[in-house]
Amino acid sequence: MTRPKTQPDEQVLEAAYRLIHSDGPEALTFERLARACGLSGSTLVQRFKSKAQLKQRTLLYAWDGLDRKTEDLAGSIPKTPAGAIQLLVALSKGYGDIESYAQGLLVLREDLRDPVLRARGAAWKAVLSKVLAGCFADVPDMPEDIGLLMASHWQGSLLWWSFDPDMELTAYVEHSLKRFVVALSARNP
């Protein structure tokens, strides 16, 4: 008698995330995931119960990865404005070209629809803002919410790049963030 294949949830969720990211959230079905990870559809249904739970678990898995990446980067950058730029540029890697970035916006839509996923986004915003604020701790006269302001500028630069993606994304983000820091410095000579 052959035993059924087993895979840790992490491997299954990674395969599910790749499906969502490449083909959109609606492409995540038990049938397609079964083909992608090698488990049977019935095994996946037993594990995840419903498509909604599978999608939520997949996106929570993605948030876990972003939390780890943010924590790792935060521990490795200098605590300076240049370090803040370095962190945000590093977080911008992996978005890919405009088509990949646009597909990622469909994933973000799923995060916005689900209160559990929205809460993860809010928690990440708080952590990221705190890390960025720490990079400005030794700079006099910075606004109290400098971390959130810089994170907001970063998110805006990602969006504006997407309308005119003539430049490589991380180069665009880095240029935009440097201009943001220069503008802040100019107001405090």
Show Cβ contacts of residue 113 under 8 Å, excluding neighbours closer than 6 positions: none
Provide the pLDDT for residue 73. Answer: 97
Mean pLDDT score across all residues of the chain: 92
Distance (Å, rounded) from C-alpha 166 to C-alpha 156?
A: 16
The whole-number average pLDDT for the span 69-83 is 97
Q: Identify the three-state secondary structure at position 86.
A: helix
Q: What are phi and psi of 114, to 5 degrees?
A: -105, 120
The whole-number average pLDDT for the span 17-44 is 92
Q: What is the pLDDT of residues 143-154, one digit of tens each?
A: 999 999 999 999
Give the CATH class of 9-186: mainly alpha
The whole-number average pLDDT for the span 78-94 is 96
Provide the pLDDT for residue 62. Answer: 94
Task: With CA atoms as reference, report the closest residue to 17 among 51, 48, 44, 55.
Answer: 55
Break the chain into its structural domains and give their ranges: 9-186
Distance (Å, rounded) from C-alpha 19 to C-alpha 148?
A: 32
Provide the pLDDT for residue 114. Answer: 95
Distance (Å, rounded) from C-alpha 21 to C-alpha 99?
A: 11
pLDDT confidence band for 1 (50 / 70 / 90): very low
Give the pTM.
0.90
Q: What percent of the chain has pLDDT over 90?
A: 80
Within the chain, residue ranges assigned H as helices are: 9-23, 30-37, 41-48, 51-76, 81-92, 98-113, 115-134, 146-163, 169-187
pLDDT confidence band for 94 (50 / 70 / 90): confident
